Amino acid sequence: MNRLNGKKALFAAGTAGVVLLNAASWKSKAFSDWYVKYIFPVWLNTYARLTSLVPFSVGEIMLVLAVLITLFGIGFFVFYLFRNKRYKKGIKRFGKMYAWLVLAVCYIMTLNCFILYHASDFSEKYMGYDRTTQYDDALLADVSKNAVLKVHTGGYTAKELAQLRDFIVERCNTLAKEVARDDSGAPYYEGDLVAEASDAMRALGEKYDQLSGFYVTPKYLTCSEFFSQQYIMGYYFPFSLEANINSVMYVTNVAPTVCHELAHTKGFINEDDANLIGFLACVNSDDSFLQYCGYLSVLNYVNNDFYDSINKDKKKYRSHVRISDVVADDNIFLTREDWQAVEKRAVIKTETVKKVSNAFTETTLKLNGVEEGMQQYNQVVELLLRYYDGQYQ
């Protein structure tokens, strides 16, 4: 009886610990910043070093095991309903084991993900931008009446957005001519693109201290076709502290995605921050291929917001710098052939997978205090405006 009570007390204490850690992170940014600076790197330099030694994605294996254990538990319970009571003891044991497993997952997610949402982000730490700043409607009137656009460009004018857009397009058009291409005109990279992108992040760490130090080894996802159905280019697995990337996506997406996911492993969990960091790592590289991919990675965000800012006026849009056909061809997620292969192997329709994935991501972000949900990816536009602040070079 005492042993049983001891286990219950230990489980209750563990549960209370998870609640207290999350409450502290929500309540105090100072606590979250302290954790990211002094504690989170401990996991990165120990546990993550071990998972980096494994050639495949440990996080994917963990996800599969979690699903299988859950399905087993459900099946075991259903089986018990139609059998005699001698299975009751087994059900209880499995239930207790599963409860401890869930508690462990809660700790891992809290320590490697949830607390990070409440720490100072990249834009606040290095650009002096507080994302909680509220802008007066009169100040935003010159940008657009589009509410989403206001969130993206707070305080910047439509003219400044147009300048940023034209700058990005010009860089893409110029760099598109400098990258190596095969006989079909498709770009390719000679060398290890993943390693080069990782080196670009290390170089960026010389300027931004939180990005310095040890980096995990990025890995390709084994189930890339399934992740492609979700339109996912990369995935940060908090369970294994891994940066995983889609092996099916078009080559121009690889470097920015590697840098984006590595940014998460350095404690920058917000998606707009990770988008900006991926962009900066690539465009500040000496490699023209990485530079091209970096500018391509933000082209859609900036171009779409610009198009909204001019109320989708096609004549006005055509008066600005034109996106070259080569850039448009390179600015894709998957090739037509790869999409056909993905659809052919799909067990569940892509539309269904994408809808469920988007709903899960939206819910996860909002539960962690990201009120704008998936729109946070698009907010890289405002960060780019703040980074350049009218100085395009």
- Cα–Cα distance list, 267 to 2, 51, 179, 200, 317 (Å): 42, 17, 32, 17, 38
Question: With b meaning 16 or more CB within 10 Å and e meaning fewer, what string describes 355-389?
Answer: eebeeebeebbeebebebeebbbbbbbbbbbbbee
- Please tell me the distance from the alpha carbon of residue 45 to that of residue 86, in angstroms, as a whole number: 47
- Cα–Cα distance list, 167 to 88, 109, 173, 236, 329 (Å): 68, 39, 10, 31, 19
**So what's the pLDDT on residue 361?**
73
Residue 377's nearest CA partner among 269, 253, 237, 250 is 269
Per-residue confidence band for 374, with pLDDT thresholds at 50, 70 and 90:
low
- Phi, psi (rounded to 5 degrees) for 221: -75, 135
Q: Give the mean pLDDT of the chain.
A: 87
Q: What percent of the chain clears pLDDT 90, i.e. is strictly above it?
A: 66
Per-residue confidence band for 8, with pLDDT thresholds at 50, 70 and 90:
confident
Evaluate whether 289 touches 189 at the Cβ level (below 8 Å).
yes
β-strand 242-245 against 234-237: which pairing, if any? antiparallel
**So what's the pLDDT on residue 154?**
54
Q: What is the pLDDT of residues 335-372, one digit of tens each?
A: 999 999 999 888 888 888 778 777 877 787 777 776 76
Residue 87 CB-density burial (10 A; 0-12 exposed, 13-18 middle, 19+ buried): middle
Taking 50 as the threshold, does the pLDDT of residue 56 lie above it? yes
Taking CB atoms within 8 Å and a gap of at least 24, the contacts of 356-364 are: 357/229, 357/230, 357/231, 357/232, 358/230
Q: What is the DSSP string of 18-48?
A: HHHHHHHHHH-HHHHHHIIIIIHHHHHHTHH
Q: What is the pLDDT of residues 76-115, one digit of tens each?
A: 667 666 665 666 676 777 778 888 889 999 999 999 999 9
**So what's the pLDDT on residue 369?**
72
- Cα–Cα distance list, 67 to 30, 58, 305 (Å): 36, 14, 39
- Please tell me the distance from the alpha carbon of residue 57 to that of residue 224, in angstroms, as a whole number: 11
Residue 239's nearest CA partner among 114, 354, 361, 120 is 114
Question: Between these two residues, 22 and 359, which has the higher pLDDT value?
Answer: 22
Q: What is the pLDDT of residues 199-235, one digit of tens each?
A: 999 999 999 999 999 999 999 999 999 899 999 999 9
Residue 378 per-residue DSSP state: G
Q: Which run of H or of E encompasses 245?
A: strand 242-245
Evaluate whether 167 touches 384 at the Cβ level (below 8 Å).
no
Taking 60 as the threshold, does the pLDDT of residue 141 lie above it? no
- Please tell me the distance from the alpha carbon of residue 325 to that of residue 309, in angstroms, as a whole number: 23
Residue 218 identity: P
**So what's the pLDDT on residue 150?**
45
- Please tell me the distance from the alpha carbon of residue 207 to that of residue 122, in angstroms, as a whole number: 12
311: region left, alpha or beta (phi > 0 left; psi from -120 to 50 alpha)? left
Task: Please report the sign of the dihedral spanned by the C-alpha atoms of residue 33, residue 38, residue 39, residue 45.
Answer: positive
For range 270-290, the mean pLDDT: 96
Taking 90 as the threshold, does the pLDDT of residue 58 lie above it? yes
Q: What is the pLDDT of residues 112-134, one digit of tens each?
A: 999 999 999 998 999 877 765 54
